[in-house]
Amino acid sequence: MTTHSAPADALVDADDRHLREERIASDEVYKGHFLSMRRDRVRLPDGREAAREYVVHPGAVMIVPILPDGRLVVERQYRYPVSRTMIEFPAGKLDPGEGGLVCAQRELFEETGYRATRWAKAGVMHPVIGYANEFIEVWFADGLVAGERQLDEGEFLDVFEATQAQLEGWMRDGRLTDAKTIVGMMWLAQWRSGACTLTWTEVPASPV
């Protein structure tokens, strides 16, 4: 048998030395306009060597923006790599040295025109653990104040509002397939069901 009899809560934190891989060497193998890729040599748990290729990413934030009536602000954006228009929560990459909250405020404002007066960090996700070091911080934004968005040059996206039930319905019928957005919906469902609390920070809704 392949499974363990110890309680799951013990296993999740159990020693992981029999699983870990150690870096031997690391090379940048591709340097593009937006992406770079590294190929590392690693030592496996059994002492042998292997190669690991991965995209280097600065990290990102995603915002779950909550309107006074409880609806969420979402975007509709064409995503070239998957050749389709996707429904997403607002998100964006961290600038060098930028903190998560500042990035979240900036991206929400630039893409949707909204500023928020209350912010809470729910958690972090890793979208692509097989071949990128990307992490995405999940931020809730409450007390929204509408304004005029400031899209980056060459950025095209629609902004609209949807209920939690609508978003979940679009996931079930295949119209919403963006993993980070579904993770945000999971956090929203957990929070609204009372399974977790969030620690809110009050932020003046002044220009970013």
Considering only residues 31 to 90 of the shown chain, the ones binding a second copy according to CB under 8 A are 32-35, 37, 39-40, 42, 44-46, 48, 50-55, 71, 73, 76-83, 85-88
- Map residues 176-205 to x or -, x wherever contact with a second copy holds by CB under 8 A: xxxxx-xx-xx--xx----xx---------
Q: Which residue in 153, 161, 168, 202 is the catalytic one?
A: 153
Q: Which is nearer to a second copy, 148 or 202 (CB)?
A: 148
Binding to a second copy by CB under 8 A, coded x per residue (else -) over 92-111, reads --------------------
3 binds a second copy (CB under 8 A): yes
CA neighbor of 161 nearest in space, from 93, 76, 86, 101: 76
CA distances from 144 to 27, 56, 80, 141, 161 (A): 44, 33, 30, 7, 12
Calculate the CA dihedral of residues 95, 97, 99, 105 and round it to 10 degrees: -30
Antiparallel, parallel or unpaired: β 22-31 and 36-43:
antiparallel
153 carries an active-site annotation: yes
Distance CA 189, CA 137 (A): 17
Q: Does 121 bind a second copy (CB under 8 A)?
A: no
CB of 182 to a second copy, least distance (A): 5
Q: Which residues are catalytic?
A: 153
